[in-house]
Structures are given as structure tokens and as C-alpha cells.
Amino acid sequence: NVVIDDGKRYDIKETIISNEMVAIASLPQDSEGGRYQAEGAKLTGGAKIAKDHAGHDGKGYVEGFYNSSTANATFAVEAPELGTYNLNLRYAAGHNACKNLGLYVNGEKSEVLDIKSTGDWAVWGNHPVSVFLKGGLNTITFKPDSESPDTVNLDFIQITE
């Protein structure tokens, strides 16, 4: 465990994905089990933590996907064993439906999500999807496939069996 300057304790784990060693800092699971806050994900390409829209869970949410093809959020998640799991993405989509957000599991593209508009950036929705995970540490990344103003803000993901 390492304490970062924000005063939180992070677990630092390493995993091999696509023949590259990747160190990922992740917040430990919260008491509800299987929930990973977006603000605890590894953010790159312009994705950033924000909190100006009401109704989010945790201390904030992740934005920066607007007209971006480089922003991404990578979550480090634990699975007890190899298998298919339910992933619930909590999000806000204040413009039109988002049809360009790629879902990557352990570095491999799983699918492009078709996410409904919530009608306002302060209204949060849920998008369920199934993911195949290996036992142990996995990465789940959300990254736009193309630039679009019709995008999402990420609040959290929850993984259940």
C-alpha cells in the first residue's frame, strides 16, 4: 500500500497486459462490494476528475471524453475466478446517446457500448453489460473510438457475479 498526497491509501498492483508490465493504482473496494469509483481509475489522454454536476456517488466522477478519442479511464478490478461477470456502469450523458465508447477488458476490445442519454449531466443512469474476467487482477478500460460531443461522464462501475 502507498499513501498518495491526497491522503488516501492505494493498493499498487502490477499486471502483464499485451506483453507490457503495467502498474495500476486502485482504490480498494468499498463496503458495498465490487464497486470501483471512477475517480480511483487510472486516467489518461485528457480524462480527469470533476465534481460540478450533482448526484454523483463518491467524491466525484470522470469527464474529458467530449470530442476526444484519446481520453480513457482504466479500472483495476479483482475477480475471484475465471468467468462471466455483470458490469454496471453508472454514468451521465447530458447530450444525445453515446455510441462510440469502447469497452476494453485486459487490453482487448470487448465491444462498443450504445449508451442512452440521461437528458442532463446531473442525471445519472446505469448501463449493464457482461464481461469475461480471469481470476485475479483484471483491467477494464473505457475509451472513445472517435471524437464526438455525444459522450458520457463516468461515476463508477460495479462488478457482480
Q: pLDDT tens digits for 5-62?
A: 444 444 544 444 444 444 444 443 443 578 999 999 999 999 999 999 999 998 999 9
Three-state DSSP at 10 gives strand
Which residue's C-alpha cell is 460531443? 149
Check: CB of residue 44 under 8 Å from CB of residue 71: yes
List C-alpha distances in Å: 133 to 64, 111, 139: 27, 14, 9
Residue 18, pLDDT score: 45
Alpha-carbon gap, residue 152 to 69, rounded angstroms: 13
Three-state DSSP at 2 gives strand
Residue 33, pLDDT score: 78
DSSP letter, residue 12: E
Mean pLDDT of 93-118: 94
Mean pLDDT of 88-102: 93
Phi and psi based region of residue 5 (left: phi greater than 0; alpha: psi -120 to 50; beta: remaining): alpha
Distance spanning both ends of the chain, measured CA to CA: 27
Looking at 22-31, 71-80, 105-114, 135-144, which range is the least confident one?
Answer: 22-31
